[in-house]
Copies of this chain bind each other. A is one copy, B any other.
Amino acid sequence: MCQLLGMNANTPTDVMFSFTGLATRAGEHKDGFGIAFFEDRGVRLFVDPESALASPVAELVKRYPIKSHNVIAHIRKATQGRVMLQNTHPFVRELWGRYWVFAHNGDLKGFAPPLHGSFRPVGDTDSERAFCWLMQELAKAHASVPSVDELSRTLAELLPVPAAYGSFNCLLSNGQALWAHCSTHLHWLERRHPFGAARLADDDLSVDFGAHTLPQDRVAIVATQPLTLGEGWTAFASGELRVFEDGVNRPVRAG
């Protein structure tokens, strides 16, 4: 089992606190880590096949306050695919002149759809194969970048297909919104005014969000397991897809 972290906010927000919490769990998830930050339409992707506990790249991410509207991070415990850079999540592809970022926690057995389109895996994980298939099917379903609502409906139709082959907890973003699909374990949280304090569940570190925020700020966090104590995390149901836009969560219903 890997661990996922997603952040979606209505104002550029750093994730140093949450990423520190995630990295603390890297002891058992030592097969690499990655984190992608959208800044406008651009993406910064930091990936390292080293453990997030030892990697100088992870150290940089914990200390350098990169502010973003959409972040996806992943720490890896390899199930399929060797421990190599090309197998390290998140993965990035371009579609319709936008970058798409994807990370997966789980294990798909025998999901080998035909990839006749423009998206081919570079590494050998089930995760990147599923991402390439998703991109291929999105490209077929829409001629150019659709609205967030249209994308949500298309994803609600597509995501059950790989999910039928195993566990498929995943995060996807194109810089406009964050989509989160749960098979087994995923939790979400909205932070909004009045902002309180939180303490990392695995580390002796606290933060008072009230000191760093404005009343109109809204931040949504998605994580495999709750990262903090003293905040109201909600578990996803199995098979549930949620979309987060401008720091606000809403469920997605097909059709």
Contacts and interface: CB of A to CB of B under 8 A. Distances in A.
Given A57-B64, A60-B60, A64-B56, A42 B96 contact: no
Given A56-B60, A56-B64, A94-B93, A123 B41 contact: yes
Contacts of A123: 41-42
How many chain copies does the complex carry?
2
Contacts of A189: none
B119 A39 contact: no
A122 B41 contact: yes
A40 B97 contact: no
A225 interface: no
Interface residues of A, number: 37
Interface in A70-121: 84-88, 92-99, 117-121
Contacts of A117: 118
A53 interface: no
A153 interface: no
Contacts of A222: none
Contact of A86 (B40, B95, B118): B40
Nearest to A121: B97
Interface in A117-146: 117-123, 139
A118 B118 contact: yes
Interface of A: 39-49, 56-57, 60, 63-64, 84-88, 92-99, 117-123, 139
